Structures are given as C-alpha cells and as structure tokens.
Amino acid sequence: YGEPRLTQDIDIVVAIQQTEVAELFKVLTPEFLVEHAAIEAAVQSGQLFQGLDQETFLKVDFHVNGSIRGEFQRSVTIELFPGVSVPIASKCDAIISKLLWVRAGSGKSREDIVGMLRDPEPVDQALLLELAEEHGVGDILGEIRKELR
C-alpha cells in the first residue's frame, strides 16, 4: 500500500506466547542475528524485537502480537512470488499503523497514508474511523482527509 520506496527494514507482526520463545529463537537463529533475551522481553512487553539477516544484513523488526484489534483476522493473502503466498495487513490496518507512526513524528508515514487514501482500492471507512478513534489518532485521520479534499 502507499508509495513504493526502498526501505532500511522489514516489519513483521508475529503472534507468539512466552512458551513459544525458545522455538522461535531456534527457528530464527540459523538465518538471523537475534538475542533470546530480546525476544523474551518483547513478548512480555508486547513491543518489538529486531533481527539482522546474516546474508543480506537487512534489519527485520518483529512486532509482537500486533497492536490493532482484529488485525490478524483481517489480513489478506497475496502472492509475493510465483508459488509463495504470504498474509499481509489489510489496507485499513496498514493505515492505522501508519497513523500511529505519524503520531510518533513520522512525516513519511503521513505521505504513505495520503497515497493509500488516494488509491482506488476500497477501505472500510466505518472501521477505519472506529479504529482510528480507538487508538487516539482520529484527529490525524481527519486532518489528512481534509488535505485530500
């Protein structure tokens, strides 16, 4: 969604419980530099932990358990490469995530939202407003919508 650009990292939302930390660490460590304690802390706090791909040196932010109500259920599956399908955030949830980054000071995320709202792919406007209000970013959404008029 939004305007394509080169990025310095990849963001992945993972659903994980404390009892699964050791298994996730085991799965990640052949490919990623990651700290077991960082995964544990992220799961306890509901925050993120980072991993560094050892081949490409690409940084991956693993966001633990998401922060937007129902985002896993609304994910959509896309074919990333022939034969490789992955779930991604719905357009509505991507906008909410970007609104949260705008609130934290990201100007680039604001531009992304403008691009997503201009894009003809539909978004559930009622749900978007409900979630924006729920996360305290309804005012920012309103400002951006006014800019688009």
Give the HSE-up count for residue 11: Cα atoms under 13 Å, Cβ half-sphere.
13
pLDDT at 3: 63
pLDDT tens digits for range 98-131: 999 899 998 888 999 999 999 888 999 999 999 9
pLDDT at 10: 82
pLDDT at 133: 97
User: Looking at 3-7, 25-29, 73-77, which range is the least confident one?
Assistant: 3-7
Distance CA 83, CA 136 (A): 39
pLDDT tens digits for range 10-69: 888 888 999 999 999 999 999 999 999 999 999 999 888 999 999 989 899 898 887 788
Over residues 131-143, mean pLDDT: 96
pLDDT at 107: 83
* Amino acid residing at 50: Q
What does pTM read for this prediction?
Answer: 0.78
pLDDT at 87: 87
| Per-residue pLDDT band at 6 (split at 50, 70, 90) | low
